[in-house]
Amino acid sequence: MPCLHVAAAGSLLEFALAELPFHGVGRIESLFLYPMSLAEFVAVEAGDGLADMLGVAGPDNPLVTVFHDKVIELMRTYQIIGGLPDVVKT
């Protein structure tokens, strides 16, 4: 089995691997994946322009009402479906 590929995932995986007396042989690559942020979600759904406006918006530089309403709509959608990239893509 020299070419056996193993993929493992889970919130407790790190603890399970810590209990093993060895840590694999060969090339080991750890990837940590996180859900999309709201800003990334806005960029995907509405484009980089609105995401850029959202990035510089604040108390002294509020969004125009039309854009604010769009961001609120997108935030509600984001809260319902979450930021999992495959779900967003679908």
The answer for 63, left when phi > 0, alpha when psi is -120 to 50, beta otherwise, is beta
Quote the pTM value.
0.63
**34, 46 contact by CB (below 8 A):** no
Is 85 in contact with 36 (CB distance < 8 Å)? yes
pLDDT tens-digit map of 46-62: 999 999 999 999 999 99
Q: Is 64 left (phi over 0), alpha (psi -120 to 50) or beta?
A: beta
| Domain ranges across the chain | 35-89
Question: Tens of pLDDT along the chain (90 residues)?
Answer: 566 666 666 666 667 767 766 666 666 677 777 888 999 999 999 999 999 999 999 999 999 999 999 999 999 999 998 888 888 888
Contact, 63 vs 54, CB < 8 A?
A: yes
